[in-house]
Structure 1
Amino acid sequence: MSTHESLNDYQRTVRTLSDRIVEAQTPIRVLDAVKWDDSVRQAFLASDGRELPAVDRSYYESRSLGFDASAKKQEFQNIERDVTRLLGQFSPVGQIMRRMCKEYRMVVRMLEARGTADFGLISQDLYGAASDAFHAGDPTLADLGLMLSDYLNNIADRGDLKDEPKTLNATQAVEQLQSRLDLVFGEGEGVIRVFESDGIVADAAAGADYIKIRSDALFNERDIRALEVHEGLVHVGTTLNGQSQPICTFLAKGPPSSTVTQEGLAILMEVIAFTSYPTRLRKLTNRTRAIHMAEEGADFLDVYDFFRQQGYSQEDSYGNASRVFRGSSPNGLPFTKDLSYLRGFIMIYNYIQLAVRKGKLEQIPLLFCGKTTLEDMRSLRQLVDEGLVMPPKYLPPQFADLNALSAWMCFSNFLNHLSLDRIESDYANIL
């Protein structure tokens, strides 16, 4: 008997609606739709970084989205209407699916607005802005980025914190990463494949059940460990957990709100697995600072110069600056997706701290059920209890061991009540 045949009428209704969302979002490729082609890079470098890239509204209009935007928005509107009609206004699973439909319609509107001011405004609605505060009176994300930069500057000149040399080629990286992932996902099952690729810009990229390694990239041991936890245990792991859902198949696919959760989990994993390092952290803080610069009116050349001042090469400075303005114009509002890393880290860390403080440890593993969103976590708990959502099949060891994680968070909760300024004053004579 197939999975679909074993479901009751209500479960089949949820599964059918869920499958419709998965199918509807399939042609939407946000990063492909907003990226700049290589001719833009070549022209910019040929000008020695002195001329704004030739990207405007017409540039994007010449590149098809691959789907009819109006029809796609209507499709999600129809699914949303059917969710309410078939499941009711207050169904937890219906509320999640309606939110996803609304969010996907907003994504389509953002892509329709490529090259205009509306693109950046909708991006802020979806991914947040660097000027957002987490709570009234608290520092903004931009403030936190500057704070982290100050900490990094204090240790920048230490010779013992230099990055390890990158002596591993792509073939060696594939072999080592595959071996490490097999220990978690099962050796010989082929659950996650690691292979070399010539067609990617980043050193590595994760797919549904694979990780691609750029053929000409070099790595060190720390890079391999970071790829294991970030790309493998989080990004691919949550995709596989979502794909294994027999009813709520929408958990295999994530709208922008799940990107914040995903990247937050990935950065937290790097921290608690001791695979992160100052250079990696500075990359994240620089992206946050660059987005804030663009929000405050800086253009592409200003942001490019900022990265040059940070010691990046012309090629890398162009790559970093283009991440900020992709989908927009070189003097427009930024694409704010890269805020997801630090924003997500803070939100996930606070969520886990609160779960421990409230004694709700069972909530924590549910973050890995699929492409989850923090605001859905209470509903997901209900759906697990109802049998509509399966607990995650694959969990990173650090999250499978709730004993160790909760102890770590209890200490963290306790230490948060101490005044660091008072401690600095008291320790002045011994540090």
Structure 2
Amino acid sequence: MAKKKLNEYQQTVRDLSDRIVEAQSPIRVLDAIKWDDSVKAEFFKHKAKELPKIDKSYYANSALSFDSEAKKLQFQEIERDITRQLGQFNPVGQIMRRMCREYRMVVRMLEARGTPDMGLISQELYGSASDAFHAGDPTLSDLGMMLSEALQNISDRSDLVDEPKDLNAKQAVKMLQERLNKSFGEAEGTIRVFESDGILADAAAGADYIKIRSDAMFNERDIRVLEVHEGLVHVGTTLNGQAQPICTFLAKGPPSSTITQEGLAILMEVFSFASYPSRLRKLTNRTRAIHMAEEGGDFLDIYRFYLDEGYNEDDSFTNASRVFRGSTPNGQPFTKDLSYTKGFIMVYNFIQFAVRKGKLDRIPLLFCGKTTLEDMRTLSQLVEEGLVVPPQVLPPQMRDLNALSAWMCFSNFLNHLSLDRIEADYANIL
């Protein structure tokens, strides 16, 4: 079937969108800020008692894969051309201009590796653990403590102990590939799963693939989480973005979309009953660790925090290094890992509000690419105009809006009940 020819306006949007996609392609944030294996070896050589030797000169030895000044100028020129060709108030133009500004800020953050500015810019892009959602509401760190306390109450139950991680990377690749082939149906073979020894996390998603860390171990529950989180959400939204005939920028995500996408991934873990207590504990510990670093804690403080939480030495080092990557071991943290809990709350509230207002059509649009919550009304308008196509790859829970709506209606009702009163009334029967 031949592609429909774009009109002049659509082609202008497509050309500007393609320029953003091309300009951001060499920017790899996590690759630019990661620590090499020698840092870990040196840390344990000194019996885990000295701060890693990380400063500005360390990052200078790992040059960026692009000219940062030229890259900032490139995004500035694209932003200027968006205004010239689409006007100041054009909706899709406003989204693309914000993306250009975010990418310039990302470049500034990478230029500031090993300096105090790195952490400050990170907070601008991803937020701070001290951020509140609304005036008077708990902060992210408060929510992290509340969740940790709830999880602590069930931590000693023998029937909630995690299954042993007896699947190696090769077995995990095979099992995850089979599950994704089944989940994506006609798209079988679209997503590749393979081993990699160059990632910090147990797994990481790319445009059409999922990498599994070669030395990581898994259980079947972990595979289910990876299927939902990395496959159905991260790769799924990428595939939907790549299918956009005009707004090709939806295939790539700046930091504002990271918060939405990670929150969406965690929410889908919950909706699909793939998540579990120790998984939530891992996420809340990331928030608590970042808060500790923002309050002046250094690498050793965070490392010992994870030891106290029951992690082994290797995992404690890995988790602590996530907090300080791009920064220094006694500097402000890299706050991207706040995206999970922050995004979860924001996306959940958005879906709940959409159901309450009867705007169910807005919910699947979360999956039409690397979206940002503040753009959802605009994206709905762009779908009506034909500039954005609805998502084709959707998790089952998002295809069944009847069930999702019922869930959210009950949730909205329960939110109005007093938990303190319920606790008092149920004390004698629990």
TM-score class, shorter-chain normalisation, is: over 0.9
How many residue pairs get matched?
430
Q: Superposed, which structure 2 residues align to 1:198-347 within 5 Å?
A: 198-347=197-346
Match of 1:169 in 2: 168
| Alpha carbons 2:177, 2:193 under 8 Å: kept | yes
Identical counterparts, % of pairs: 78
Q: Structure 1 residue runs of 4+, over 4 Å off?
A: none
1:149 matched to which residue of 2? 148
Matches within 5 A, 1:15-414: 15-186=14-185, 189-414=188-413
SS in structure 1 opposite 2:162? coil
The 8 Å contact of residues 250 and 370 in structure 2, kept in 1 or not, is answered as yes
2:363 partner SS: helix
Checking the alignment, whether the CA contact within 8 Å between 1:299 and 1:331 is kept in structure 2 is: yes
Query: Can you list the C-alpha shifts for 1:181-228, whole angstroms capped at 9, x where unaligned?
Result: 122222574111122334333322211111122333322111111111
State whether residues 45 and 314 of structure 1, in contact with CA within 8 Å, keep that contact through their aligned partners in structure 2: no
For 1:318 and 1:215, the matched residues in 2 are separated by: 18
Q: Report Cα offsets for 1:3-40 as digits up to 9, x if no partner.
A: 4x711100100000000000000011100111111111
Distance (whole Å) between structure 1 residues aligned to residue 187 and residue 120 of structure 2: 47
Aligned counterparts of 2:35 and 2:213: Cα–Cα separation in 1 = 19
Distance 1:168 1:294, change over 3 A: same
State the distance in 2 between where 1:31 and 1:195 align: 19
By how many angstroms is 1:2 displaced? 6.8
Give the drift of 1:84.
0.5
Distance 2:424 2:197 in 1: 54
Note if contact 2:132-2:140 (Cα within 8 Å) is conserved in structure 1: yes
CA change 1:119–1:215 in 2 (3 A) is closer
Q: Secondary structure at the match of 2:53?
A: coil
RMSD between aligned alpha carbons?
Answer: 1.3
What's the CA shift for 1:175? 2.4
- Distance in structure 2 (CA, Å) of the matches to 1:327 and 1:28: 14
The answer on whether the counterparts of 2:207 and 2:238 sit within 8 Å (CA) in structure 1 is yes
- Give distance in 1, aligned partners of 2:295 and 2:196: 38
Instruction: Tell me, yes or no, if the aligned pair for 2:306 and 2:319 is still in contact at 8 Å.
Output: yes
> Which residue identity lines up with residue 261 of structure 2 in the other structure?
Q
Letter of the 1:159 counterpart? S
1: CA distance, partners of 2:311 / 2:298: 18
Q: C-alpha separation between the residues in 1 aligned to 2:86 and 2:50? A: 55
3-state secondary structure, aligned to 1:329: coil
Amino acid across the alignment from 2:52 = P
Residues in 1 aligned to 2:341 and 2:76: alpha-carbon distance in whole angstroms: 32
Q: Find the aligned partners of 1:197 and 1:304 in 2 and give their Cα distance.
A: 25
CA positional deviation for 1:62: 1.9
- What amino acid sits opposite 1:362 in the alignment? D
User: Distance between the aligned counterparts of 1:349 and 1:125, measured in 2?
Assistant: 22
Offset at 1:159? 0.9
Does the Cα contact within 8 Å between 2:200 and 2:318 map onto a contact in 1? no
TM-score, length of structure 1 as denominator length:
0.98
- Residue 67 of structure 1 and its aligned partner are, at CA, apart by 0.8
Structure 2, unaligned runs of 5 or more: none
2:307 partner SS = helix
Structure 1 unaligned residues grouped into runs of 5+: none
Asked if structure 2 preserves the Cα contact closer than 8 Å seen for 1:196 and 1:212, the reply is: yes
- Asked whether the 8 Å contact 2:263–2:339 carries over to 1, the reply is yes
